[in-house]
Structure 1
Amino acid sequence: MITHKGNCFCGAVELQVQGEPEGMGYCHCSSCRSWSAAPVNAFTLWKPQNVRLTKGAEYLGKFMKTPASHRQYCKRCGGHLMTDHPELGLVDVYAATIPTLKFTPGVHVNYSQTVLPMKDGLPKLKDFPAEMGGSGDVVPE
């Protein structure tokens, strides 16, 4: 099974992911943009059993703006690592956190909130896929 390792900005917290992600893409929602301090957030979604903290548990901080997103970061450097989405049964490990994973996005979510239009031919969803509780509506590039 393929394993990728990642870490926070200072290296105090390390994690690994195993296997293949359930999905990859870009989120344009205001929460992800604010949290990542970027105009768009690149995500990789994993089943919880395929994500493991390997170092620095004592430095792992958590912030919950909503019950749907349990954001995790390093308390030492502030580097963002991942977001647990318990309602979806998935963990979003930020693509930049796992540099050896070939990031192959398949979708844009919450594109109705975009501040950085991207013309890449990928599907642009108004919110989330229907199977994840969204409308599944596709909006134009």
Structure 2
Amino acid sequence: MNNGKTYKGSCFCGAVQFTVSGEPAAMGYCHCDSCRRWSAGPVNAFTLWKPEAVQVTRGGNHIGAYNKTERSHRKWCKTCGGHLFTDHPHWGLIDVYAAAIPDFPYQPGIHVHYQETKLQIRDGLPKMKDIPKEMGGSGVSVAE
């Protein structure tokens, strides 16, 4: 898809800047309560990357963190409050919010936790009750 390109991203104010390189492991939409509440939106557009593909290039000292659970370590800019990433150590992946990398050619492939949705999206993509079986979920699909 992006042929090994590097894309720049940042928080809302630009104090924290980062790059993502190569191919994400997955892209899609998360409808879970935690993502909705954290993003203050009805759905979170995610891109999942291996940690070595994500590099903070400026403002690392401005990054704050909150761990509601050991499965999701949420990161934001302490200057503007802009959300940046969620580390998922149990998967060895980092969710870089799609909106934080504006020039990245985001191409979602799945909806996860769709049973919790507050915004139905009829786009023909697979809708999962929770997450795919290979990531520890039930692997159960739900209707659009």
TM-score class, shorter-chain normalisation, is: over 0.9
Structure 2 unpaired stretches of 5+:
none
Give 1:109 deviation, angstroms: 0.1
Q: Among the aligned pairs, what percent are the same residue? A: 62
Instruction: Give the structure 2 partner of residue 85 of structure 1.
Output: 88
Please say if 1:67 is aligned against 2:70. Answer: yes
Deviations 1:74-131 (A, max 9, x none): 0000000000000001000000000111110000000000000110000000000001
TM-score (norm 2): 0.97
- 1:56-82 CA deviation, whole Å, 9 max, x = no partner? 011000000000000000000000000
Which residue number in structure 2 is paired with residue 98 of structure 1?
Answer: 101
Deviation at 1:18, TM superposition (A): 0.4
RMSD between aligned alpha carbons?
A: 0.5
2:57 maps to 54
5 Å-filtered alignment, 1:1-141, equals 1-141=4-144
Q: Distance in 2 between matches of 1:58 and 1:120?
A: 39
**Structure 1 unmatched ranges of 5 or more:** none
For 1:65 and 1:2, the matched residues in 2 are separated by: 33
Residue aligned with 2:34, SS = helix
- Number of residue-to-residue matches in the alignment: 141
TM-score, scaled to structure 1:
0.99
SS in 1 for 2:36: helix
Structure 1 runs, 4 residues or longer, greater than 6 Å off? none
Distance 1:18 1:111 in 2: 29
Shift of 1:2: 0.6
